[in-house]
Structure 1
Amino acid sequence: MSRAVVTGAGGAIGSAICRGLAARGHDILAVDVDGAGLAALADTSPARIAPHPCDLTDPMELAALVSAVGADCDLLVHVAGVVVTTPFEKLTDAEADRELGVNLLAPVHLTRALYPVLQESRGHVVAIVSIGGMLPLGESPGYSASKFGLRGFLLALAARTRETGVRVSIVNPGSVDTPMLRHEAATGGSALNFLSTPLAPQQIADRVLGLVDRPRVETNVPRTDGWMVKTGMLMPGLTLRALPWIARLAQRNLRRYQERHGLSSVAD
């Protein structure tokens, strides 16, 4: 029987992934710093979903998580993520450390700790990265740094799949309609998130579940966004000059999103 470890399991995307995996017969260790969110998730499938509250940036809590996993894991799904919208010149050390810690260092450390188990089971690592792991977001340089780094780390692991037996899959969503996106919309996040309609969390969960069945190294959601970003970044200097103009085009969609969700912007 397959056992999965899912981080960020209490959030919109993570909980949808856990429910989908449970319906397919996976046993799940659901990990999140939000104990209440985990409890609500576990109630949906108590026989399959075991909640494990954990701050992934705390070395002692991470070690306890690895101990709880033991030698039983063949699927590791990284979903946990945060974004800081404080302007870079006003960013505190704590904010920078938290963003890099949750988005990059925690997945690296957890994957490293569980890698021998995943090698033994010929397991699979799946991670929610971001289109922001390919396109720099001026309002969120720490987020871009963490996601660029996470994508590079995972691609490097994927380069060793034939040697290690551990498959790696990266999912790069555009914007997803989650509490984190609403936080960005209200506190000065990138307008580029709103060039197109934000995706539903279930769409990302469905893509992850599809990759569990048929692994591939990288998939972009929507696919067109991925190709546009990859093409644009062939000429990064030109793309960076165009980004402010593109962001202005997205401002109307951002304002509509704020109005729909009753959000005030930092400019109000």
Structure 2
Amino acid sequence: MNFFSFKKRASIPSFAVMTGGTGGIGCEVAEILLEQGWDVLLLTRRPSKAEEQVSSGKGRFEAVFCDLTQPVDLETVSATVLQRKKPIGLLIHCAGKIQPESAGNITRVSLEEQTTINLTSPILMTSQLLPALSPNAHIVFVNSIAGVMPLQGSSVYSATKFGLRGFARSLALEFKPKTIQVSSIFLGAVDTPMLEQETTDGGSILNFVNKPLSARHVANLIVQTSAGKGREVFLPKLDGVFAHACLIMPWLLRITTPLLEKIGRIGLRRFQKHKATSNE
């Protein structure tokens, strides 16, 4: 799979710009791209940690400090990238933030942080870097099933992800066929530090209806998707089917939630047992 992707891209600029590289998925994506010969620029609040986590490959890796909650930081970094005059072949938005809380407990801080990281930053960054994209570049938005199916107890997160889907779809319409491609990856739960923190903070038990995906598996899917035409990908696929069914029939989610929560609690116990065994 990786060899095919590399060969297909041999004629385009091998420069990738990413966000969210220290959260689990991003590091795996960076390593795969480096193995394929891409030069990777990672925007992160923890450059030193990223450099420790990402193994070297054929390409060159660089981690640059950027706080996505601060639009000024993003503008500064975007301007620096533009000044390099190096065509971007791949732009990946991988950063994400979730703060579980009921609608009656939403604070201004959590609202602004989730909205800025999940929605505002990807939109601004894409707009600012469009002049640097090569004619056949690919933009990938790492989204969530919560961007298709409402997530009880995390309404702000779900709202930002619904918004990101709308932006990605609208953006794709601005480009002519066979030019810049736009893809969105809608993920269920992924075994990363973000999932562990979400669980600790009282996140949705529905995360564990299915076994959480491995970060490496997701990273491979992201790289594979970025090598083809723009599209929407749902992982697991069945989650995507169910989520769209719930959009058409809103009552479906309400009547199935008790059963899904029961299955989720069983899945959570299995996940915690597996984690405890792995840490021994």
TM-score of the aligned structures, taking structure 1 as reference length: 0.91
Does residue 1:35 correspond to 2:47, yes or no? Answer: yes
Partner residue in 2 for 1:83 = 98
* Aligned pair partner of 1:114 in 121, 126, 129: 129
Moved over 4 A (4+): none
How big is each residue's C-alpha offset from its partner over 1:65-89, in whole Å with a ceiling of 9 and x where there is no partner? 1022113212100000011013332
What's the Cα RMSD here?
1.9
Question: How many aligned residue pairs are there?
Answer: 261
Change (3 A) 1:29 1:251: same
Task: Provide the residue aligned with 2:213 in structure 1.
Answer: 199
Q: Matched residues in 2 for 1:122 and 1:27: separation?
A: 17
Residues 162 and 101 of structure 1, relative CA distance in 2, 3 Å threshold:
same
1:27-76 alpha-carbon deviations (Å, 9 max, x no partner): 11111112332221456349511111110121221112102211321210
Residue 252 of structure 1: aligned partner = 266
Query: C-alpha distance in 1, partners of 2:190/2:229?
Result: 22
Which residues of 2 match residues 16-35 of structure 1 at below 5 A? 16-35=28-47
Aligned to 1:150: 164
Pairing 1:67-78 to 2, within 5 Å after superposition: 67-70=79-82, 71-72=85-86, 73-78=88-93
- Deviation track 1:179-225 (CA, whole Å, cap 9, x = no partner) reads 11111222210011111100000111101111122233111112122
- Asked if the contact 1:56/1:62 (under 8 Å) is kept, the reply is yes
Match of 1:100 in 2: 115
Aligned to 1:162: 176
**1:13 Cα offset (Å):** 0.3
Tell me, yes or no, if the aligned pair for 1:133 and 1:144 is still in contact at 8 Å: yes
- The alpha carbon displacement at 1:123 in A equals 1.5
How far, CA to CA, are the matches of 2:258 and 2:80 in structure 1?
Answer: 47
Q: Which runs of no fewer than 5 residues in structure 2 stay unpaired?
A: 1-12
Does the Cα contact within 8 Å between 1:174 and 1:193 map onto a contact in 2?
A: yes
The aligned residue for residue 265 of structure 1 is none
The gaps in structure 1 that reach 5 residues or longer are: 263-268
Partner SS for 2:48: helix
> How far apart in 1 are the matches of 2:59 and 2:15?
13
Identical-pair percentage: 32
SS at match of 2:63: strand
SS of structure 1 residue aligned to 2:248: coil
Q: Is the 8 A contact 1:130 1:147 kept in 2?
A: yes
